[in-house]
Structure 1
């Protein structure tokens, strides 16, 4: 599937970190469509159904023919819950609790529930969400075995039946990508936060494997959860890196990158957004957006001319966090 270079991630309109009104979410999607953005990535986990529901409502109004490309995810079932307040990073989310389940039955049930929330007859790209040791720790082998023995087959069956066009994984770590590519065939990998100005761990090994096997790569989290999304980060508060406050070393590296960008007259967010697209294996980058102003900013950042000398300077400064 041919993807546009710029898509929209929807975790933010699922109330990640802060509440967003229904109207603000609708305006964001409408502004994205008006700006020519035709690819939207979402997941049941984002606001526990809230992001999918809001995206579906907006697209039903503005894209009734279903021309927009949608990717969503499986691997968690949403169980009704009375819990309130901030949970798993989401504020004022829908009344459900996400429960990991990578079995075939859960994959099918999650897919059907997403179709209802998205108000669509089909989903273009289906991704297994958050496999890997980073998320599951000691439970990783059991979840991986369930996926390989059961869930992956269900995803293939959905693709073969024409219910989805492409299947893959949506993860935050490189190791699970390599592990799965050695075992199963994937069409696409959505890798969040692992190919950015602050973290280039994926480029040397994963992209080579993907190129050999014809696997497309989508980069999520180009701003590493927000730390690269603005200039003047040295005096900023409330910054996030990988969904938590950045440590002093990470903050220092980010400031160092910003200083280099400023030397060439380029904003930090523009460089951060365009950095993943330097790789020919990257099909699309999907920053989160809230509000028409952030949509407009994303379009402007993507169009910002960036001299080769800036990329060379960033490479020479070795602005890579070593795991």
Structure 2
């Protein structure tokens, strides 16, 4: 029998400026129904979103299943899908709950593996959950020193010994179109950006409207080396969406009084220019020449429509100038 080659993925010569992350629909902070997830994905497609980022980690497979269900109604050649590698799943032992932080996620146990063998297993599982023979890009997920502790050196050795070469082999063979790496902290981003061989970084926290600490280090390294940057958490876990909200989060934890005060000060400047804080938060990272896309999450049709509206909103240059004058953003931050 002759093998049928999968459709070749497409590397976006002009990356979609705006996409959607799916961690929230893996129930990271709250539980969302299948109906809500389906309505959110449908609204994203109707709003013109074609770039969707997911990961096995999100709900221990739940987000990939939900995205895969939505994708069955979309033309595959118009959809750009990114998922992640570094975690492999197996059924949790009978009677045990392995869902960790994911509320009503899937009860599968995670094993970390950054080797070629681990990445191959992760990709195979993701393809099945998504119901797709190929994905467009793969992102090395959560290889953070603080996160892994004493296991970090072993995971990094596995990556450099075989895992990274495996991803580049998939790219050379046309199975994927780009190799990425996720970055959650400034320290990891600064340590890795100068040397690792990837096409793009998916940056979750170190470069947002409320924090530009990465500007003169790893973001500069990306520019120098021609590495693209996708901003994965432009609202910084919710703080830049609504800093007045009860229990507002920042960097995946309850926001401190200091960070809430800074976000409120930025919001006040935005209000003087008749610009929603969320619009400024979405568009600010895109002004950096290394940044090609922002991919905020959404947990309702209304949220995704609002995000699409805010990313398209006209923002006066005076807003950025005023934020610099007030010392609320780095005076050297690119602002067009």
Q: TM-score range by the shorter chain?
A: over 0.9
Q: 1:164 aligned to 2:176?
A: yes
Partner of 1:282: 291
Counterpart check, 1:125 vs 2:137: yes
Counterpart residue number, 1:202: 214
Aligned residues: CA RMSD: 1.8
Do 1:75 and 1:100's aligned partners in 2 also have CA atoms closer than 8 Å? Answer: yes
Task: Say if 2:207 and 2:231, in contact at 8 Å, map to a contact too.
Answer: yes
Aligned to 1:295: 304
1:68 aligns with 79
Structure-2-length-normalised TM-score? 0.89
| Contact 1:30/1:62 (8 A) holds in 2 | no
SS of equivalent to 1:61: coil
Q: Distance in 2 between matches of 1:257 and 1:313?
A: 10
Structure 2 unaligned spans of 5+? 1-11, 331-336
In structure 1, the partner of 2:256 is 247
TM-score (norm 1): 0.92
* Residue number among 75, 78, 100 corresponding to 1:87 in the alignment: 100
Is the CA contact (8 Å cut-off) linking 1:85 and 1:91 kept in structure 2? no
Q: Using the TM superposition, give the Cα deviation of residue 85 of structure 1 relative to its aligned residue in structure 2, in angstroms.
A: 8.9
- CA–CA distance in 2 between the matches of 1:45 and 1:254? 29
- For 1:120 and 1:70, the matched residues in 2 are separated by 10
Q: Contact (CA 8 Å) 2:270, 2:276: kept in 1 or not?
A: yes
Show CA shifts across 1:107-127 (max 9, x none).
000011111111112111101
Cα offset for 1:75? Answer: 0.7
Question: Contact 1:84/1:92 (CA < 8 Å) preserved in 2?
Answer: no
Shift of 1:183: 3.5
Which of 222, 241, 251 is equivalent to 1:229? 241
**Structure 1 stretch 69-78 or stretch 138-147: which is displaced more?**
138-147
Q: Give structure 1 stretches of 5+ with no counterpart.
A: none
* Matches of 2:294 and 2:301, distance apart in 1: 18
Match of 1:258 among 248, 267, 273: 267
Larger mean Cα displacement after TM superposition, 304-313 or 34-43: 304-313
Aligned pair count reads 316
